[in-house]
Amino acid sequence: MNGTIKRIGIMTSGGDAPGMNAAIRAVRNACEYFNIECIGIRRGFNGLINGDIFPMQQEKVTHILNRGGTILYTARSQEFMTEEGLNRALGNCKLLGLDGIIAIGGDGTFRGLGVLAEHGVSVVGIPATIDNDISCTDYTIGFDTASNTAVDAIDRLRDTMQSHERCSVVEVMGRNAGHLALYVGLAIGATAVLIPEKKFSFEEDVIDKIRSARLSGKTHFMIIVAEGAASAMEVGKMIHEQLALDPRVTILGHIQRGGTPSARDRVMATRMGYHAVEALVQGKTNRIICAKHGGMMDIDLKEGLAMSKGLDKQQMTVLSAMTGT
């Protein structure tokens, strides 16, 4: 089935995301299926620079489907951005006889792959970030688990909030993207959701919504804030000043990155991992694996990074209807 690709390196880079281990397992097992040797590279581009590698044998990926994080560890490499670091990474690619590199991560990871590709290395990227902000794909590994983790935490907060008739302000991750906040806000029936993609008026988008909810008979309020939109602490302070409520502010932070990956993340990661190896076997390079309309495809790396990704318009419409705006 394969006559040209003999050895592939696999690494994870940037922020970790639930489901990365499932993708690692899929790449390793797909390599065995295509009769390719799989080499694990620890700590992302730093590991490629320093030669921190090991053979990815079967026992390395046994029972990792249910584990969060990444068994390959991950890091953001400043050294790779230097000429010396890049040359060392390229030298190790040659020394190890790598016919291709598959990297699991986000846009920073893919930009690093693009640099390797410019120097003749065959590369494929697998999108994994809880932010779901990779423009060329409908879905990124980790988003579903992070959403469920946030929803579970907020449901627990709601129990005590209802008991004390209080307002809760919850900050979720997402950097400068509001996909996670929007999705979670819909799932928990938020009173208001603040996202970086939509310029908001505090009076109209928070204060008026809380007032409207109170006039309709509600005695507890849930405000979801994307970390790139505003500070949850400042939002809570302003609610207190303008409405004399005593909001409880919760910043979920990195708890959203951990935990057992959901079934969806495991399946998507497995499909993406297989497709990445298959792309290299087919002679493709400089590709990003994308989930599109329920299927898998791969597109040019530069083309994918150049795309823009807006929020789901239908979800935004539903959110407006549910929050009365």
The set of catalytic residues is 131
**Rg for the chain (alpha carbons), in Å?**
22
By the 8 A CB rule, do 188 and 222 touch? yes
Nearest residue to 297 via CA among 315, 312, 282, 314? 282
188 closest CA partner among 204, 214, 168 = 168
Listed residue (57, 5, 65) closest to 29, CA to CA: 57
- Separation CA 144–CA 150 (nearest Å): 10
The whole-angstrom distance between residue 87's C-alpha and the CA centroid of its chain comes to: 29
Give yes or no for a contact between 135 and 305, defined as CB atoms under 8 angstroms apart.
Answer: yes
Alpha-helical segments (H) within the chain: 20-33, 44-50, 83-96, 107-118, 143-164, 179-188, 202, 208-215, 232-243, 263-281, 301-306, 313-323
DSSP string, 208-277: HHHHHHHHTT---EEEEEETTT--HHHHHHHHHHHH---PEEEE-GGGGG-SPPPHHHHHHHHHHHHHHH
CA gap 167, 223 in Å, rounded = 8
Report how far residue 241's alpha carbon sits from residue 313's, in angstroms, rounded to the nearest whole number.
33
- Determine the 3-state secondary structure of 101 from DSSP: strand
Gap between the Cα atoms of 136 and 129, Å rounded:
13
Containing H/E element for 300?
A: strand 295-300
